Structure 1
Amino acid sequence: MKNLAGLMKQASQMQARMEEVQTSLANLTVEGQSGAGLVKIALSGKGEMRSVTIDPKLAEPGEVEMLQDLILAAFADARVKSEAAAAEEMRKVTGGLDLPAGLKLPF
């Protein structure tokens, strides 16, 4: 019974640490870019868009379609970086153990 209590205590500590990481990820900012930096998008560590920066030379009427494509590409780049940062922070908490997304401890 002593081991079970210790295990539950560890699980509770891990959950508290995971909640700290989630807060830290909300404060993290990652930037994705496309078109050699002509379009930049900043996301939180949770994937929420914070800002879009567009080089003024892309605002020409004939460049709108390219601008739309670059925004999508910059968002995809930022999203990949955001997910990688979140996964790395979670690995630190779990000691390298990959847990399913959204798993809350204790069970």
Structure 2
Amino acid sequence: MRDLMGMMKKAQELQGKMQTMQAEIEDLTVDGTAGAGMVTVTLSGKGEMRGLKIDPSMFQEDDVEILEDLIVAAHNDAKGKAEVMMQEKMQEITGGLGLPDGLKLPF
């Protein structure tokens, strides 16, 4: 019975830490770049686009397809960085729980 109470307490602590982490992630921003910095995308920790910067030299009619590709690449770069950041935060919280490597929590 004592183990069950201890597990319940740890679960409550984990839930509180997860809620705090989710709030922190919402406040985080990450930049992704492409084209040697000619396009920069800023995402929130949850992957919402917060900003887009394009070097003015990219605004030429014959460069539209290149610009489109660079925007996608910058977005993907930022998203990858955000995912790494979230995994690191998860490790901080779940490090002492003995969860198997590679286990992802559903958020």
TM-score by length of 1: 0.90
Matches within 5 A, 1:1-107: 1-95=1-95, 97=99, 98=101, 99-102=103-106
User: Which has the bigger relative contact order, CA under 8 A and spacing at least 6?
Assistant: 1
Amino acid at match of 1:21: M
- Partner SS for 2:4: helix
State the AA in 2 paired with 1:7. M
Cα deviation 1:19-56 (Å, max 9, x = unaligned): 11011001000100000000000111111111010001
Q: What CA distance in whole angstroms lies between the structure 1 residues aligned with 2:26 and 2:65?
A: 32
- Structure 2: state its 5+ residue gaps: none
CA RMSD of aligned residues (A): 1.4
In the TM superposition, structure 1's runs of 4+ consecutive aligned residues that sit over 2 Å from their partners are 96-101
| Structure 1, unpaired ranges of 5+ | none
TM-score calculated relative to the size of structure 2: 0.90
